[in-house]
Amino acid sequence: MLACSNGCYSQDLILKADGPVPIYTTKDAALSGKASSMRSKGQQVPIRECIDIKHYQIYKVELSAGVIGYVNDGKYTIDMDEAKESMVNDKAQNKEDIK
């Protein structure tokens, strides 16, 4: 698993659109600015990989039906996947209960 700059594993993160978010078909397209589709405010996609290219942070995301896309710009928030965050919190609580 690849850790993103904030220390979380990319499989534990989701990208939440706060406004228009262009989706690109390749990393190169994400750098050139030729979007293939958009995500609108409120839509979420899981992040599969965080890619550091020069001074860009590009997110490889999983769209519907397993299609892969790339995000480089737009209005979005990166957040923990709530289901996985809940599992982590439950495991931590179980360790405390055992002590």
Q: Flag whether 1 is in a domain.
A: no
pTM: 0.73
Q: Which domain holds residue 48?
A: 10-98
Per-residue model confidence as pLDDT tens digits over 52-84: 988 889 999 999 889 999 999 999 999 988 765
Count of domains for the chain? 1
Q: Flag whether 24 is in a domain.
A: yes
CATH number of the domain that 78 lies in? 2.30.30.40
Output the six-digit token pair for 51. 């890619």
54: left (phi over 0), alpha (psi -120 to 50) or beta: left
Contacts of 73 (CB under 8 A, 6+ apart): 21, 22, 33
Compute the average pLDDT of residues 5-10: 52
